[in-house]
Structure 1
Amino acid sequence: MRLQFFLVLSGILMLTCMAYKPVIIIHGVWDLRFSLNFLAEQIRQYHIGTEVHIIDILHGWRSLAPLWYQVKKFHEQMLPVMQKASDGVILIDDFLRLIFPQYIKETVYEVFYSRIGQRVSVANYWNDPHHQALYYKYSDYLPYLNNEINDSYSKEYRQNFLKLKKLVLIGGPDDGVITPWQSSHFGYFDSEENITEMRDQIFYQQDLFGLHTLDKGGRIKIYEVPGVYHTNWHHNMSVIKNCILPWLD
């Protein structure tokens, strides 16, 4: 059974209230057990009294497990913290996307868009602008979260997304891994590989999962930060102090 809960891909910060709430940090693809310790320590040091939890499962190659499986396992680990936090929690997701050489990117859809390929997490959120028919046929994760494909959970996905009090999106042009980097802000390629910004996306304009509603309600904050490589986001003190810590109050 799919859980009434989901994780959002790329460099994203999700908040559910505006007080001293527990912080839950989730690692990304290929992250090691200690990868997010620095971020956790900075939060504890500069936001004294904040309870910080790093979800300590599915590291390294295990992060290639199917995303629905990962969502279930992350939810099991997070649930005790959430049950004690009546006023909500803050979730920091440091999801790492893989970068492929051009010749692989042009052919990887043949593997990813298959029943076997969808057993790998990276394939679950692979959205190839040149092969949209295959994306909708085989992808069993991202188009469902985006409510681009309706199923029995579509209404609940939208309702749960709209429970967010604040959605903080952090990304920048020097990321070097997330492609395009604007996908950190819900932008993406069109079929000509031109960037379609968030507010021009069909899922935004049709408000398929509530992104438009959040935006119009002033509940989205977007940070565009130059000069930060992908693996440095959670070690960059400027990002931590200016883009994360202010939202913990």
Structure 2
Amino acid sequence: MEGQLIFLFLLNVCTGYKAVVFIHGFNGDSKDGNFINDTIQKMHPNTPYYSLCVFTKTDTFKPLWREVEIIKPHLVQYMKAHPQGIHLICYSQGGLVCRGLLSTLQDHNVDTFIALSSPLAGLYGGKDVPQRLTRNIYRFFYSKIGQWISIGNYWKDPHHLTLYGEYSNYLAPLNNDSASPNIAEYKRNFLRLKKLVLIGGPDDDVISPWKSSLFGFYDKNENVQEMVNQRYYVEDSFGLRTLNEGKRLHTYSIPNISHRQWVRNLDVIKHSIIKWLT
């Protein structure tokens, strides 16, 4: 292990580019980042790149705190190998896993967190989700059993926010939507980031509302409210406003990209991701 870490450190010194760690999303696998890596290597040759292989597709159904626990020792190893800093590219549900990692790792050296089409403010419905199911699935998700499924951890029904705050044991405490004794620690750790890059778009057919990728969400009338109008931004609960006011937060709203295409679209990768990987 020690020899491997020394090799990785020397590789990073020679390339001049910080290492990149890719974390895939729901029902995905490590191969989802292949095109991103191919593009990085063409534009930034020899950039150290890691795509975590600790999950099978069915493992992405696990509770998100469990996924954080599984990934954390691997991420710590990469950080030790690259003490000058690393970048995180986290796709879809992977962005929420990265939220948990960045909020609980006290001494992380993540330079840039790129959240690629991630339901950071929660998920409610979706293009292919029947309306009746959307309206009623809270009955299952907002239960002890429902919280054993990853989607239940970030399902945010705008019509049942009291139940969401009571049962959501992942997103609600991270966003301070429920009483969280750890929120000061989460904020302190999250603010170790130098840059936060949020990428989403109106033609995403999975993230609902799509502006959840930019920390926006529905109000009780299902009108989307922008990030700056969210309580956790106004109160700066976990550091989002601090990052924005310090010009460390960058957002992209890109049309004509479906959910599965975010990791396969050359323009997105070249113009919205690569520029931050220095």
TM exceeds 0.5?
A: yes
The answer for the alignment partner of 1:63 in structure 2 is: 60
The answer for the alignment partner of 2:74 in structure 1 is: 77
- Aligned equivalents of 2:46 and 2:29: distance in 1? 26
Q: Aligned runs of 1:98-247 on 2, under 5 Å? A: 99=126, 100-247=129-276
**Partner SS, residue 53 of structure 1:** strand
Residue 186 of structure 1 and its aligned partner are, at CA, apart by 0.2
- Aligned equivalents of 2:179 and 2:246: distance in 1? 25
Code of the residue aligned with 1:159 in structure 2: it is R
Residue 32 of structure 1 and its aligned partner are, at CA, apart by 3.3
Deviations 1:40-87 (A, max 9, x none): 222122211210000112231110000000001111221110112212
Alignment gaps of 5+ in structure 1 = 1-18
Count how many residue pairs are aligned between Structure 1 and Structure 2.
231
- Aligned equivalents of 2:190 and 2:170: distance in 1? 15
Residue 143 of structure 1 and its aligned partner are, at CA, apart by 1.1
Alignment gaps of 5+ in structure 2 = 1-15, 94-118
Q: Structure 2 length normalisation: TM-score?
A: 0.80
1:25 corresponds to 2:22? yes
Residue 165 of structure 1 and its aligned partner are, at CA, apart by 0.4
Deviations 1:210-240 (A, max 9, x none): 1010000000110110010000001000000
The answer for the alignment partner of 1:39 in structure 2 is: 36
**Partner SS, residue 110 of structure 1:** helix
Residue 156 of structure 1 and its aligned partner are, at CA, apart by 1.1
Higher helix share: 2
- Aligned equivalents of 1:161 and 1:35: distance in 2? 26
Code of the residue aligned with 1:34 in structure 2: it is K
Residue 33 of structure 1 and its aligned partner are, at CA, apart by 4.1
Code of the residue aligned with 1:64 in structure 2: it is F
- Assess if the C-alpha contact under 8 Å between 1:27 and 1:94 holds in 2: yes
Moved more, 118-127 or 45-54: 45-54
| Larger relative contact order, structure 1 or 2 (CA cutoff 8 Å, min sep 6) | 1
Deviations 1:17-46 (A, max 9, x none): xx7211000000011342221212221222
Code of the residue aligned with 1:182 in structure 2: it is K
- Aligned equivalents of 1:188 and 1:141: distance in 2? 17
Deviations 1:79-121 (A, max 9, x none): 1101122122100110246842222111110110000000011
- Assess if the C-alpha contact under 8 Å between 2:23 and 2:91 holds in 1: yes
- Aligned equivalents of 1:148 and 1:188: distance in 2? 13
Moved more, 86-95 or 197-206: 86-95
Percent sequence identity over matched residues?
42
- Aligned equivalents of 1:186 and 1:248: distance in 2? 22
**Partner SS, residue 68 of structure 2:** helix
Q: Aligned runs of 1:49-60 on 2, under 5 Å? A: 49-60=46-57
- Aligned equivalents of 2:267 and 2:248: distance in 1? 23
Moved more, 25-34 or 222-231: 25-34
Moved more, 37-46 or 93-102: 93-102
Code of the residue aligned with 1:91 in structure 2: it is L
- Aligned equivalents of 2:41 and 2:72: distance in 1? 23
Code of the residue aligned with 2:45 in structure 1: it is I
1:86 corresponds to 2:83? yes
